[in-house]
Structure 1
């Protein structure tokens, strides 16, 4: 798989594999444009729908264009035809090579956005046909932007179809949901029908896409009556780290007697309270809500996403989720919850003392408890899982052998894990650990 570093040649004058494949495609595209007048930006072909209706469609895959050129290729001289076939063969090979290599990116985008991977295949194919290296844009960046716009359109189609809205309004549904949820959070209750409609109409009035007054009232009514329930499935995966691990029980907030709607609203309020407790700014809040698949400021997210790669965005969102998880349960951890806003050097003494006190309560050595904690973190599938290198650094930090500094990412994971362990009664120290001591 390629990334931004693929644009960095190993030596002066060298071309990376990605650049070489793109060069092959560019040579063919220039030839098709100069010899046959084929410009993939505007060229199209006639296709027939299942009902037999004909319509014009842009080219998405390189081989689609060749059948339309056969008669014109035959009219070329022998020498020019041989050159064409050679360039064509190399370009097709490069096209399918890149198409295959970028499938993991397509799958990652599809999984994170909830769209079908098959719907994104044509986007990748067309990006390969339209990419222009002379614009000084990296192909990975160009593809990411194309995929983001396509996902927005595809999700807009789904919302438009489900709610009976025009496509232009369907594209705005996630943003409208964010505005409604923010208004509800500000009031501390669910919005009335009149309030909900007023919020939606105010948003549509300010938006650059123009709707008539009647259309805005209809959209507001459809959104109010047909709005999908906010799913907390993704949140549980991230914010219930001990679910399914050992004998742990989940913390407060999942009482069975609470009505489902009330429980959903309660959990959403808890998440937003945790965002405030963690001290996230508007950009950080937007990234973490998007990662949890909750309503968020879509326009703000797109501005942030437009200047970084998807990989960078995912890494940053994951680091923010570590902080969010710690903030979510900090009130349930009196010893370690107070360390939420502190650095590793500021918290070192208090953190080690708290761990020592828990060791005394469990009747074990502090080092043994720390070792079990590190085992738990290393085997965890949650946001605070430690790499081998991180584990070594955290072990040194907990022992106090190497001063009081610890890298921010590792320290955030340690705080999150300690808060999680405290609220559940330190399940990492189980009977097996006690017996092995």
Structure 2
């Protein structure tokens, strides 16, 4: 039975391992795609955070190092106001842009207010020096954060007008050619960046949802891993419990029965101690039972089939069992086999043999019978085993001993069921019905003689 269970477990484990490997590969590929997209989002978020600071730093450093003299009246007249405006820009970007983005609390209305103030600061700084055109480029990046997307395109247009208007000096009486060039540049720039805003507005929410989905999937995977570990632990505990129950049944069917027989024989030897030669016969039987019990104990440790089944198939093993039992107990026991013999799995044969063995032991211990019969019937899809005696029987409420409980559990473990019929003074019948499962694990339908 252990070998059959181990083979089935191995097959399921192999199949489960293959399916798990395929699922793992699919999960890794899907996770890689999502991770790549999530990485793109993280890069874009970082660019949004860093760009205003980088552009403000570069333009301020160039202005104070190259454009403005290090001292003199001009430094005081222009440098102090620019330095104040830069300080305002630092606070404006920090509280209106950086902190809301890091905390993910940026909302459409505050984003629009920040953009207007940013553009006003850029235009003011550009009146002092054209180098602050560099800082004005930050308006294009922030326009991507304006919602809905038409406001973003409008922000690109406003930034382009402010940037190119100052660069081309449109506000100081431009020529028609300069004005036409200005309009063309603004239009092309707005269209090019506006398309990016439109595409981002459509794709970014989906990407954000995918990123959240990945996080939820990872949490679910961690939870499933914990549940899987619990199931494995429960299955292991259940297997240990089943094995303990099986060993308890094996010990009861072998050692307990053998020792009970030894006690019976020794008690008989004690009662007939005055009869010369009779004591030697009972002692001989007790020694034979002791040796048999020792052999069965070693066999139970190795979880092998009964020794009778090791040398013969089930019908022959039942005949050997009945002959030895009749000889030891002095009670006539007959074995009858009906139907066409079918090859059965070792688990089925062991279970049926143990039912017969336990039933005959109960007959010897409790029934006070003069005859017993064992019938093994092959019906094609099922195998029936019936053990009956003409003993004193028992009431229904008395049929809950360990022996009958062990029989029911053993047969239930191979997909069968047991019926026990008895009444005081009418003998007892133990009937077991199991599926005719062949050694390969399939249900036998065509008989094969053995």
Q: Larger C-alpha radius of gyration, 1 or 2?
A: 2
Same fold? TM cut 0.5: no
More helix per residue: 2
How does the TM-score come out when normalised to structure 1? Answer: 0.28
Structure with the higher strand share, 1 or 2: 2
* Highest RCO, 1 vs 2 (Cα 8 Å, sep ≥ 6): 1
